[in-house]
A and B are shown apart, each in its own frame.
Chain A
């Protein structure tokens, strides 16, 4: 019992550290545009279980808030709508995932692009920023911890901020 309490407290405190880190000086290696993310499940031979790669910003408030800023700065809002509400591109804040809700799948979507309109950003964005966007996209449907997810913007409000979005269990649709 006492051990459980200690472990819980330590976990909570470590969580706080993780949440607040500002990883400004990400190793230049991480900026390399080559990554180990598998881009397709097609492969020769027996099916191989792909391991889940987590975004380094999964629990990180700074990374996700940067992701939110980049989402607007890189005009993702142009297709996916302000706060990812959807426009000519699919909504991102709902529970439907066409190309998968796993971080590495989202990474591939951004990096490689997808048919039917999603451009490839792999050549334009360093991996660091793609991972920020991945974490932010996840936060839109409440997949990331609420205490690290971004709060509202200082603009006209037309959406519930990510920090207040309830967890939406991902539904794999494969279509819009």
Chain B
């Protein structure tokens, strides 16, 4: 339930903000009660009797009240700046570097590594180790997007021609959801991603598994599926390392079967949804960049068989 919530922090950065929120909430609540109460009291008083108004003393009270609110404001300003500094000071030593590029309407994820063959490409799903700082380098492929994973960290925009970074650290294992928070066109509503925070060894296992190319198909149906992918429309946009499909304009499918969702966290990754998606993606996510593929029934089943091997 609380996989996309500001008030259920699972990381240090979000925890700091959550604390700041409660400080502000209670301060503001007290202020509101005081002001609204003063007004209610004033209405009662104004209705019951004619007050002998001494303008000077009345205005002095106004100034006192304004002074008190000024003190409250300065206090909140300090809280805000201190929280900001605490966030800045979270150590990024030995951090994991991930590059996320936003496209209309999905996320391309690259695990950076100086050795090109050790880089890992994923899409719409980020795995991170628990307890280790992660520096996310943010780029935009077309328009402005904004990466927001509320349980872990506040949002930062992905702006064409600019490089922003987002630092986060998950302190509890779990599955969180992030979403694009800057309006980016027709399918802004369905531009989400899944963040899996897992213990370090599990993360390393996942990383090395994702370095491997796609396994060769085994059954005749899988072989046929691979052939359809390579010769049909799929290969025009998608990449499957280990096959002839090597385009880069759509999410990388090399390990599609290991992901929990498809369509940028729009629907669960089940055989049924996947079949519906391949046949008519415009029905599920109108306006997205994948055209109806027009595969025959036999081709579709073969492709599904093949995709299910891409763990």
A residues 17-51 touching B (CB-CB < 8 Å): 22, 24-26, 28, 30-33
Bound: A73/B247 CA distance, A: 9
In the complex where A24-B282, A24-B286, A73-B237 touch, is A31 in contact with B292 (Cβ < 8 A)? yes
B residues 218-253 touching A (CB-CB < 8 Å): 231-233, 235-237, 247, 249
User: Looking at the complex, which one of A25, A28, A32, A125 makes contact with B236 (CB distance below 8 Å)?
Assistant: A125
Query: Is A154 an interface residue, CB under 8 A from the partner?
Result: yes
Bound: A28/B293 CA distance, A: 8
Q: Is the CB of A22 within 8 A of B280?
A: no
Query: Is B37 an interface residue, CB under 8 A from the partner?
Result: no
Closest to B285 in A: A24
Q: Which of B237, B287, B292 is the most central at the interface, judged by chain A CB atoms within 10 Å of its CB?
A: B292
Query: Is A123 an interface residue, CB under 8 A from the partner?
Result: yes
Return chain A residues, CB-CB under 8 Å to B279: 28
* Min CB–CB distance A155 → chain B (angstroms): 10
Interface string of B279-291 (1 = CB under 8 A from A): 1101100110001
Q: How many A residues, CB 8 Å from partner?
A: 19
Q: Is the CB of A126 within 8 A of B249?
A: no
Q: How many B residues, CB 8 Å from partner?
A: 20
Query: Is A101 an interface residue, CB under 8 A from the partner?
Result: no
Query: Is A129 an interface residue, CB under 8 A from the partner?
Result: yes
User: Looking at the complex, which one of A25, A73, A123 makes contact with B283 (CB distance below 8 Å)?
Assistant: A25
Bound: A32/B232 CA distance, A: 12
Interface string of B186-230 (1 = CB under 8 A from A): 100000000000000000000000000000000000000000000
In the complex where A22-B186, A126-B293, A126-B294 touch, is A28 in contact with B280 (Cβ < 8 A)? yes
B residues 270-311 touching A (CB-CB < 8 Å): 279-280, 282-283, 286-287, 291-294
Q: Is the CB of A125 within 8 A of B292?
A: no
Q: Is the CB of A126 within 8 A of B291?
A: yes
Query: Is A124 an interface residue, CB under 8 A from the partner?
Result: yes
Q: Is the CB of A123 within 8 A of B287?
A: no
Query: Is B131 an interface residue, CB under 8 A from the partner?
Result: no
Q: Is the CB of B292 within 8 A of A124?
A: no
In the complex where A31-B291, A33-B294, A128-B292 touch, is A74 in contact with B236 (Cβ < 8 A)? yes
Query: Is B160 an interface residue, CB under 8 A from the partner?
Result: yes
Q: Which of A126, A128, A129 is the most central at the interface, judged by chain B CB atoms within 10 Å of its CB?
A: A126
Return chain B residues, CB-CB under 8 Å to A124: 231-233, 235-236
Closest to B187 in A: A24
Q: Which of B235, B236, B279, B291 is the most central at the interface, judged by chain A CB atoms within 10 Å of its CB?
A: B291
B interface secondary structure, majority:
loop
Q: Is the CB of B292 within 8 A of A126?
A: yes
User: Looking at the complex, which one of A24, A31, A74, A125 makes contact with B287 (CB distance below 8 Å)?
Assistant: A24
In the complex where A25-B282, A28-B279 touch, is A129 in contact with B294 (Cβ < 8 A)? no
Return chain B residues, CB-CB under 8 Å to A74: 236
Closest to A123 in B: B231
Bound: A169/B6 CA distance, A: 60
Bound: A25/B293 CA distance, A: 13
Return chain A residues, CB-CB under 8 Å to B233: 124-126
Q: Is the CB of B282 within 8 A of A26?
A: yes
* Min CB–CB distance B250 → chain A (angstroms): 9
Bound: A31/B278 CA distance, A: 12
Bound: A73/B289 CA distance, A: 11
Bound: A30/B282 CA distance, A: 13
Q: Is the CB of A31 within 8 A of B232?
A: no
In the complex where A26-B282, A126-B292 touch, is A154 in contact with B287 (Cβ < 8 A)? no
Closest to A30 in B: B292
Closest to B292 in A: A31
Return chain A residues, CB-CB under 8 Å to B231: 123-124
Return chain A residues, CB-CB under 8 Å to B236: 73-74, 124-125
Closest to A69 in B: B289
Q: Is the CB of B249 within 8 A of A73?
A: yes
Interface residue ranges, B against A (CB under 8 Å): 160, 186, 231-233, 235-237, 247, 249, 279-280, 282-283, 286-287, 291-294
> What are 9 A-to-B residue pairs whose CB atoms are below 8 Å?
A22-B287, A24-B286, A24-B287, A28-B280, A33-B294, A73-B249, A124-B231, A124-B236, A126-B292
Q: Which 4 A-B pairs have the closest CB atoms?
A: A31-B292, A31-B294, A24-B286, A73-B249
